[in-house]
């Protein structure tokens, strides 16, 4: 582990570069490491959760579940590696004759990019930190990792890193396969991104910080890919049909639980609700305000995050046309609920920016047809939720098409908080929710970020004999 000076970042990055064997390691070796890392987290569950709660205030129940998710995804990537599809060869056999029918034999493989710099997130001390999904997917892909610890849970990061080093030692693997740097300054982050050993960056954090790091990655003598998750308002559109299927008060309780989960510090928290102004909507908003007011409050992850949340709430309150139903204060860091006419929402870009925390802005439309242009006015987002679109109708089709164009995941009912770790998952969307909308940071396809394709044409037999099972 290194800290303090940017020059010390060289130690971790160079150590990762000196682990090239990992790119050629066999599936059993990679899977064995991932499985062992899951076991060591479980073996030290109680002290790790206690340490995480002391730094983040997220509560033991939430943190226990997050540790379970982290272990699950480590094992899921291990199974994915063992299944063989991650590095399977695609083979086009040679065909005699002139082109276009005739062709040489080709074998398409995917090779690891090399050492990955992983910037841990503030809001997920286990699942998006030292042994989170970025680290797990990079190791599964065959890439060493250098983790930039987040200052919001620095002691936990160090404790997990020590366990990682123990596992590497027990498995006779070099310590540089997973490195940790804990310098919190902008200069430290810049030094890591610009280090010549680093071949890709995975980042979860603010739009401002992500933009700065992305620029540095692009300005290198040899630019490297930057996979950033930067910010998302995650709209929830409520068609009037939703209130016919379920009472407004019940839907409000469901939404309030999602908004206040972890003090609203989830990247998938619904931040904008779009609905038609009617009696059912008024009941829904009244119940939502009540549930949000009654939700337990606790300190946010860092003082800076709390200050930004209060500043965002104050700016929203001061915006013409916005009506505030519930707002936080210095005395009680609670939820924010505000309303605005749909026309004002579409006219004011600042209303369509994320407020990180338990905040909800309701855009009120005059009729159902206005739901579509309101959704169209929003930028890219991780997830969009549609309530009441189960029946096939022209409006439902328009909303689905619009949501598909703007989100990486579209929900029909339910709430977007909680992202399943599966093969089919997509956690990434159009700008500014992520910098690479074709990639995902959650789910088994997260490995693909750290692989690049190479085709061997007319390869000799000695090379082909070393390939894994082929997929023709």
Q: Show the domain range for 460.
A: 6-230+434-471
Q: What is the 3-class SS of the chain, one letter each residue?
A: CECCCHHHHHHHHHHHHCCHHHHHCCHHHHHHHHHHHHHHHHHCHHHHHHHHHHHHCCCHHHHHHHHHHHHHHHHHHHHHHHHCCCCCEEEECCECCCCCCCECCEEEEEEECCCEEEECCCCCCCCCCCCCHHHHHHHHHCCCEEEECCHHHHHHHHHHHHHHHHHHHHCCCCHHHEEEECCCCHHHHHHHHHCCCCCEEEEECCHHHHHHHHHHHHHCCCCCCEEEECCCCCEEEECHHHHHHCCHHHHHHHHHHHHHHHHHCCCCCCCEEEEECCHHHHHHHHHHHHHHHHCCCCCCCCHHHHHHHHHHHHHHHCCCCCEEEECCCCCCCCCEEEEEEHHHHHHCHHHHCCCCCCEEEEEEECCHHHHHHHHHCCCCEEEEEEECCCCCCHHHHHHHHHHHHHEEEEEECCCCCCCCCCCCCCCCCCCCCECCCCCCCCCHHHHHHHEEEEEEECCCHHHHCCCCCEEC
| pLDDT score at 7 | 55
Q: Are 132 and 150 in contact (CB under 8 A)?
A: no
Partners of 235 in beta bridges? 272
| pLDDT score at 4 | 45
Q: Domain check: are 213 and 295 in the same one?
A: no
Residues 341 and 323: their CA atoms lie apart, in Å, by: 9
Q: Are 336 and 355 in contact (CB under 8 A)?
A: yes
With respect to residue 418, please indicate whether it lies within any of the assigned structural domains: no
Q: Domain check: are 215 and 264 in the same one?
A: no
Q: In what order do the strands lie in the sheet with 323-326?
A: 323-326, 336-341, 359-365, 272-276, 235-238, 381-387, 407-412
| pLDDT score at 316 | 94
Q: Domain check: are 264 and 309 in the same one?
A: yes
End-to-end Cα separation, the chain, in angstroms:
44
Indicate the number of domains in the chain.
2
Q: Domain check: are 19 and 160 in the same one?
A: yes
Q: Domain check: are 315 and 455 in the same one?
A: no
Taking the CA atoms of residue 384, residue 73, residue 445 and residue 454 in that order, the dihedral angle to the nearest 10 degrees is: 160
Which active-site residues does the annotation give? Answer: 229, 267
CATH number at residue 112: 3.40.605.10
Q: Are 443 and 427 in contact (CB under 8 A)?
A: yes
Q: Domain check: are 56 and 91 in the same one?
A: yes
| pLDDT score at 468 | 66
Q: Domain check: are 280 and 176 in the same one?
A: no
| pLDDT score at 472 | 42
| pLDDT score at 225 | 98
pLDDT digits (tens, 9 = 90+) for 183-193: 667 788 889 99
CA distances from 117 to 138, 155, 454 (A): 10, 20, 23
Q: In what order do the strands lie in the sheet with 470-471?
A: 451-457, 106-112, 89-92, 470-471
Q: 68: which residues sit within 8 A by CB, 6+ positions away?
A: none
With respect to residue 441, please indicate whether it lies within any of the assigned structural domains: yes
CATH number at residue 360: 3.40.309.10
Residue-wise pLDDT tens for the chain (472 aa)? 555 455 556 777 777 777 778 999 999 999 999 999 999 999 999 999 999 999 999 999 999 999 999 999 999 999 999 999 888 899 999 999 999 999 999 999 999 999 999 999 999 999 999 999 999 999 999 999 999 999 999 999 999 999 999 999 999 999 999 999 986 677 888 899 999 999 999 999 999 999 999 999 999 999 999 999 998 999 999 999 999 999 999 999 999 999 999 999 999 999 999 999 999 999 999 999 999 999 998 899 999 999 999 999 999 999 999 999 999 987 788 999 999 999 999 999 999 999 999 999 999 999 999 999 999 999 999 999 999 999 999 999 999 999 999 999 999 999 999 899 999 999 999 999 999 999 999 999 999 999 999 999 999 989 888 776 545 4
Q: Domain check: are 349 and 439 in the same one?
A: no
Give Cα 96 distance to the centre of its chain: 47
């Amino acid at each position: 582990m290194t800290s303090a000076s940017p020059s010390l970042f060289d130690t971790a990055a160079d150590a990762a570069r000196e682990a090239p064997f990992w790119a050629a390691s066999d599936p059993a070796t990679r899977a064995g490491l991932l499985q062992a890392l899951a076991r060591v987290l479980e073996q030290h569950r109680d002290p790790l959760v206690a340490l995480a709660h002391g730094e983040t205030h997220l509560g033991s129940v939430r943190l226990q579940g997050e540790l379970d998710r982290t272990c699950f995804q480590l094992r899921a990537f291990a199974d994915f590696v063992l299944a063989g599809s991650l590095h399977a060869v695609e083979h086009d056999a040679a065909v005699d004759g002139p082109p276009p029918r005739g062709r040489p034999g080709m074998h398409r493989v995917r090779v690891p990019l090399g050492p990955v710099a992983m910037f841990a997130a503030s809001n997920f001390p286990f699942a998006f930190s030292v042994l989170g999904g970025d680290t797990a997917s990079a190791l599964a892909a065959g890439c060493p990792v250098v983790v930039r610890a987040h200052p919001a849970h620095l002691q936990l990061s160090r404790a997990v890193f020590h366990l990682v080093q123990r596992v590497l030692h027990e498995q006779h693997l070099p310590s540089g396969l997973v490195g940790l740097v804990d310098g919190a300054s902008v200069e430290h982050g810049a030094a890591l991104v610009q280090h010549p050993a680093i071949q890709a960056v995975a980042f979860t954090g603010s739009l401002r910080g992500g933009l700065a790091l992305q620029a540095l990655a692009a300005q290198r003598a040899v630019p490297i890919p930057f996979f950033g998750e930067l910010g998302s308002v995650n709209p929830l559109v409520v068609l009037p049909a939703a209130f016919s299927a379920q009472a407004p008060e019940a839907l409000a309780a469901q939404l309030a639980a999602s908004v206040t989960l972890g003090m609203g510090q989830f990247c998938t928290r619904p931040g904008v609700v779009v609905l038609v102004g009617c009696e059912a909507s008024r009941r829904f908003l009244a119940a939502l305000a009540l549930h949000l007011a009654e939700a337990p409050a606790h300190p946010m992850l860092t003082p800076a995050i709390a200050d930004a949340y209060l500043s965002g709430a104050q700016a929203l309150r001061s915006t013409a046309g916005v009506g505030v139903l519930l707002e936080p204060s210095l005395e009680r860091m609670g939820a924010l609920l505000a309303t605005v006419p749909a026309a004002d929402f579409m006219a004011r870009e600042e209303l369509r920016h994320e407020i990180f925390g338990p905040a909800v802005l309701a855009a009120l439309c005059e009729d159902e047809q206005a739901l579509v242009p309101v959704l169209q006015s929003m930028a890219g987002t991780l997830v969009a939720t549609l309530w009441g679109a189960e029946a096939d109708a022209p409006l439902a089709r328009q909303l689905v098409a619009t949501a598909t164009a703007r989100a990486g995941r579209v929900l029909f009912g339910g709430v977007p908080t909680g992202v399943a770790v599966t093969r089919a998952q997509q956690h990434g969307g159009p700008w500014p929710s992520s910098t690479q909308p074709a990639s995902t940071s959650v789910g088994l396809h997260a490995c693909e970020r750290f692989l690049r394709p190479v085709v061997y044409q007319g390869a000799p037999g000695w090379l082909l004999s070393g390939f894994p099972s082929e997929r023709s």
